[in-house]
C-alpha cells in the first residue's frame, strides 16, 4: 500500500511540474496592452496601442474611440510586428 501511495505522490509531483512549465511558457509568449479603436472601415477595425503600432482585426464588435484590453501572442519572436492578437476584452 505504501508503494502505491509513493507512486501516486510521485505522479502528482510530475503532473504539477508539467503544468507549471506550461503556464510559464504561456506567460512568456503572451502579453496584454490597451489599444484604442482609431478607424472602422466596413468590417476592418484598426486599433492603436500605447506605443503607436497599428493593428487590424476583422468582424469584431468594437466601438470607435473606445479603449480595449488586447492580448497578443509573440509567436516566439522578439519582433513585435509579427505578433498576433489572440483576444480582445
For 31-88, CATH gives 2.40.50
The domain segmentation of the chain, as residue ranges, is 31-88
| Model pLDDT, residue 15 | 60
Cα separation, 75 vs 89, whole angstroms: 20
Report if pTM > 0.75. Answer: no
Task: Give the tens place of pLDDT for each residue, 51-81.
Answer: 999 999 998 899 999 999 999 999 878 887 8
- Residue (of 75, 47, 42) closest to 59 by Cα position: 42
C-alpha distances in angstroms, 43 versus 21, 22, 24, 86?
38, 35, 35, 18
Amino acid at each position: 500500500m505504501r508503494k502505491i501511495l509513493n507512486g501516486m505522490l510521485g505522479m502528482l509531483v510530475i503532473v504539477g511540474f508539467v503544468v507549471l512549465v506550461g503556464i510559464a511558457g504561456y506567460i512568456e509568449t503572451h502579453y496584454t496592452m490597451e489599444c484604442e479603436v482609431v478607424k472602422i472601415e466596413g468590417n476592418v477595425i484598426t486599433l492603436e496601442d500605447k506605443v503607436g503600432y497599428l493593428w487590424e482585426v476583422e468582424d469584431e464588435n468594437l466601438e470607435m474611440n473606445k479603449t480595449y484590453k488586447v492580448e497578443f501572442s509573440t509567436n516566439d519572436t522578439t519582433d513585435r510586428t509579427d505578433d498576433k492578437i489572440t483576444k480582445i476584452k
